[in-house]
Every structure is written in C-alpha cells, then in structure tokens.
Chain A
Amino acid sequence: MSVDLTINSYFNEIKKKKISGTQCKECGRIHLPPRVICDHCKSQNLDIIELAGEGTLQAYSVVYVPNSKMVAAGFGRENPNCVGIVKMSEGPMVSAEIYGFDLSEPEKIKIGTSVKAKFIERGESVILAFEV
C-alpha cells in the first residue's frame, strides 16, 4: 500500500493526544479529520499539521437513546450524552462528544460557545471530545 495516512493513523495520533489534520499545499485548505486528497481542489499534495484543539460549537443534541458503544460507556436515558459539531479555530468542523454543559436544561446550551479538546480514554481507545 502506498497510503501512509490512513483512518487508523489519525486515531493513533489521537491516542498520543495529538489532533493531526492535513493542509493542502495547493489551495491552503485545512482538513480535519485529515484527508489524503483535497476535496476542494483535488490535489494529492498535502502536509500533515497539528491543530490547536480550540473551537466553537455549531450544532448540538443531547442523546437519550444512545448507540451501543455509548451505552457500553454508561450512557442512557438517565445519563444522556451531549454530541455536537465543533468548528476548529483553523477552519474545519468535526463531530464529537461535548462535556461541561448542564444536560438537565438542553435548551440553555448555547451555539457559539467556545470549547477545548478533551481526550477521553475508553477501553483501548482514546476519543477526541470537547469541553466548555
């Protein structure tokens, strides 16, 4: 295989608590999760860069019927999990678990809130989440 940046290599960097994206050398666009081919200009010429881990909340939900991985992690109707889409200060957006809001009043969660990366160790994996 000639592909050195893979889905798994990204998560291996997350295990080291590094948010590793890519930046297109042709059009300058920054990708997170990292892309090997720029979806904007189609270039294959990208650099790996580290992102600072700061962003703002663009959309969110509080999930009362979680997927089975979240159920295994202890979430459910009595202990819902907050998910959101975060726009990184460098530009790209990611999906992630969000911590630090009072989930008993989901209507009070504010879009636009600044969040910072939080690495959660869960079993064998490390998850990139964000907290207020």
Chain B
Amino acid sequence: MGNKKLGRGVAVVGAGMSKFGSFPGFTSRDIFVDAYKDLLTTVDKGIDPKDIEAFYLGNYSSDLFEGQAHLAPIIANWIGLSPIPAVRLEGACASSSVAFREGMIAIASGLYDIVLVGGIEKMTDLPISAVTDTLATAADIPYEVNAGFTFPGFYASMATAYMHAYGATPETFMKVGIKNHKHGSLNPKAQFGQKISEIMEIKRASAINKGKPAPTWETELDFLSDNKSNPLIAWPMRLYDCSPVSDGGAALLLVSEELAYQFTDHPIFVIGSGAASDGPLHARSSLTSIPSAKLAADKAYEMAGVSASDVKLAEVHDCFTIAEIIATEDLGFFEEGKGGKAAEEGQTSRTGSKPINTSGGLKSKGHPVGASGAGQVVEVWKQLRGQAGDRQLSGNPDLGLTHNVGGTGQTCIVNIFERR
C-alpha cells in the first residue's frame, strides 16, 4: 500500500497541562479547565477561542471513574466552545494519542484549520480495587481478566518472558524507575516531584518519628528491594515499578501548516504518525515486544523520512518499568534484548545518548490514562522549543517522538515531531 503522507502539514502551536496528581474534590471538568488555560498562555501570538473549529478529547473511562459519559460536549461547553463539534475518543491508555491523530487527520484532510485536542482522566475518586477493575476492562474480560490477570500481571508476564530470554533481573527494572523519578524531580507538573533517594529519606524520617527502628537501607536499590518499602504487586513488578493512579489533563492546539506562523514563530510540526491495533497478549508472536508498537513506529518513521537514530528524545509509555525497556527496543533505539542493559548503563537518562522520558514518564509524572498521550506531546513540544526549564536537554534537540500504548498493545500510536 506504499508510503502514505498527510494531505497537508499540521503543526502544534500550543501545549498545556494541569499538574498530574491526586486532586480530591476536582472533577474532570475542573481539571481540564486548568490544562486549557495553561495551553492558552503558551500560544505565543495568542488564539481567539472563537477560531477553534473542533474538539477531539481523549478519555478512557469517565463513565466508570466518575459516572459521567458523553464527556466531550460537556467539557467543550464548560470551556465555552459550544457549538463546535466535540467528540470523545477511547483507546484505553492511548486515548489522547488517538484524539491527537484524529485531530491531525481532520486538519490534513482540509476539513478544519484549527483544532483543540485534549486528554483527561479523573481516576482517584474510586478505591484502588475499583480502579484495578476499571483499568482491567481495557483487556479481554472473558479470555484474560477472567483467567486471573490484572494489568500489572500482564506487564509482569512480559517481564518474566524478557528475563528468561535476555537475562535481565528485577534490578534492571528498578533502575528505570530510579531514572524516571530523577527526571520527574525536575518537573513541577509531576505527581512525584522526588527522586527515589528523597522518598527513601522521607520514609526513614517517618519511621524514626514514629519510634520504629530506623530502616537499614543504604542505597536506592536497597530501598526498592525491601518487601516492606516496595511491596510486590505482581512478580517481578513492585510498587515502584508501576505508574501511579492519577488525575490530570492536557491540551494541544493543532493548526494547518499554512497558518502555523500566525500563532508562533516556533511551531512544532508533526512529520510522522503511525498507529496499529492487535489482539490480546497471548495471541501474539512475541511476549518480549509489542508488535503494534513496532508497526506504528515503522509507519511513523516512513512517513517522516527519518530513522530511530535521528530521534533526539522520546516520551515512551512506561506504565510499568518493563514497558519502557520494551518500548526502547520496539522503537529501534536499541536491539531486541539490549534495552535493559542500555537503561542500566544510563544511556536513556537526560545526559545519556538517547534521553527517554525527560518529563519523568508515566512512572513519575503520573498516568491519568486518557491524558497521558497528550501529556507526552506537551513534553516533546517544550523540549523542542527549549522551554523545558530545569530539565531542558542540551544541544538544541530538533526531533522528538511520542509512543503511547493502549492496554498491553491492542492500540499503539507513535508520532514524530520536528522543529524547523
């Protein structure tokens, strides 16, 4: 079917997000207002909201999380955008990348020139057991969930397959978490603003305060290997291998290439986009990679005319630490089986050869599932414009990538962004 291109170019000219975290008393509408207002401040030459022609909202399950469906027109109305078309897109944890792609396609088609893309999830109203069950509805209920699986269980199974195939250890995964917490400590919007070492000292002080014996951890790995401070969730995934339950929103302003410079002198262009779908984990040719991610990446690279080695930074879907390692292999940054070692060697840190998840990733920044994909774009947009604050990469990066997975890979979307 050959190499398909967009009908016309699309640029991102504004990108905002709420803080990610746990916000009792705030509904998804309240949180999205925060993200939308932040977006408006980022459009260098301003945007008149009356010029926005359509709204594409990524949201996984406001129905189950908040008892509220039909969220796109409700939010559009709340931010004053009625009566423009407003549609909600669902692709599990990739929902807002699905929304991004649909907004991009709508502009590329010529139908619209100016589109608002959003992502929102309000997860923390439910008790953790109900959150687990709600997330599990993204898997195959009769064939997977009723067979005893949970989401940590799926990714943990990929982890045991990866350990068996390539000799990784639980410490390999812990090092990904340590790195992402270190990155997140530089991101004021991150749910965890702390390094693992800082969390460790807070817990140590708290134990001493309560008159308990002082914990004997000396290193971050000691803390992460302790069943009490870092309990097993699904072997070999422990608490600090899992992204948190989060509330958060993100908002992006997409415009046609022709209009981009009316909004800013520094637009970021979407030069490649790929998407793919798949069946349940057990029906795949590989348990140590995500085939839909490889396909989406191949399509995005082909459309962009670039290769993995051209990518200066990537925000990848680290819902679990093993997922980041697999992502860096599926995207072609490292050979299959070498991603774990690359992470251990620091190649994926801010100062390494291939910086991954400079925002802190889902692990530290937070994972409000329907907002995570749009949140990834916010980070890449800021890094490519030199506006990432304390965590800004050196060397003026000009090419960034986002990789957003729904479920265990039933959906995957990869987008490539360029500063010209």
- Contact surface of A with B, Cβ cutoff 8 Å: 7, 11, 33, 39, 58-71, 77, 81, 83-85, 92-97, 106-107, 109, 111-112, 125, 127-129
CB atoms of A62 and B235 under 8 A apart: yes
**CB proximity to A under 8 Å, residues B143-187:** 143-150, 152-153, 156-161, 164
CB atoms of A65 and B132 under 8 A apart: yes
Q: Does B231 contact A (CB under 8 A)?
A: yes
Stretch of B264-272, B276-284, B346-354, B368-376 at the chain-chain interface: B276-284
Q: Does B232 contact A (CB under 8 A)?
A: yes
**CB proximity to A under 8 Å, residues B125-154:** 128-129, 132-133, 136, 142-150, 152-153
B359 → chain A closest CB, angstroms:
26
Cα A65 to Cα B130 with chains together (Å): 12
CB atoms of A33 and B143 under 8 A apart: yes
Cα A116 to Cα B149 with chains together (Å): 19
Q: Does B287 contact A (CB under 8 A)?
A: yes
Known: A64-B235, A95-B149, A111-B164. 17 other contacts (CB 8 A): A11-B142, A60-B157, A61-B235, A63-B148, A64-B231, A65-B233, A65-B234, A69-B146, A85-B161, A85-B282, A85-B287, A94-B143, A95-B143, A95-B144, A96-B148, A107-B236, A128-B147
Cα A81 to Cα B152 with chains together (Å): 13
CB atoms of A62 and B283 under 8 A apart: no
CB atoms of A58 and B161 under 8 A apart: yes
Cα A129 to Cα B147 with chains together (Å): 8
Which residues of A lie under 8 Å from residue B287 when comparing CB positions? 58-59, 85
The 14 listed contacts between A and B (C-beta, < 8 Å) are: A39-B279, A61-B160, A62-B235, A63-B152, A63-B153, A65-B150, A85-B157, A85-B161, A95-B144, A96-B147, A106-B232, A106-B235, A111-B160, A125-B146
Cα A109 to Cα B164 with chains together (Å): 11
Give B255-295 as 1s and 0s: 1 = Cβ < 8 Å from A's Cβ atoms. Answer: 00000000000000000000000011111000100000000
Other-chain contact of B232, A60, A62, A70, A83 (Cβ < 8 Å): A62
Which residues of A lie under 8 Å from residue B152 when comparing CB positions? 61, 63, 65
Given contacts A59-B157, A59-B161, contact A83 B147 (CB under 8 A): yes
CB atoms of A83 and B149 under 8 A apart: yes
Which residues of A lie under 8 Å from residue B133 when comparing CB positions? 67-68
Give B231-253 as 1s and 0s: 1 = Cβ < 8 Å from A's Cβ atoms. Answer: 11111110000000000000000
Cα A119 to Cα B287 with chains together (Å): 25
Most buried by A among B146, B147, B150, B159: B147
Which residues of A lie under 8 Å from residue B147 when comparing CB positions? 83, 94-97, 127-129
Given contacts A69-B146, A95-B281, A107-B235, contact A61 B157 (CB under 8 A): yes
Give the residue name and chain of the B residue nearest to A97 (CB): B148
Cα A107 to Cα B236 with chains together (Å): 8
Cα A63 to Cα B136 with chains together (Å): 14
Give the residue name and chain of the A residue nearest to B154 (CB): A61
CB atoms of B150 and A60 under 8 A apart: no
A80 → chain B closest CB, angstroms:
8
CB atoms of A85 and B281 under 8 A apart: yes
CB atoms of A7 and B142 under 8 A apart: yes
Which residues of A lie under 8 Å from residue B281 when comparing CB positions? 85, 95
B279 → chain A closest CB, angstroms:
7
Cα A23 to Cα B152 with chains together (Å): 32
Other-chain contact of B234, A61, A68, A97 (Cβ < 8 Å): A61
Cα A83 to Cα B160 with chains together (Å): 12
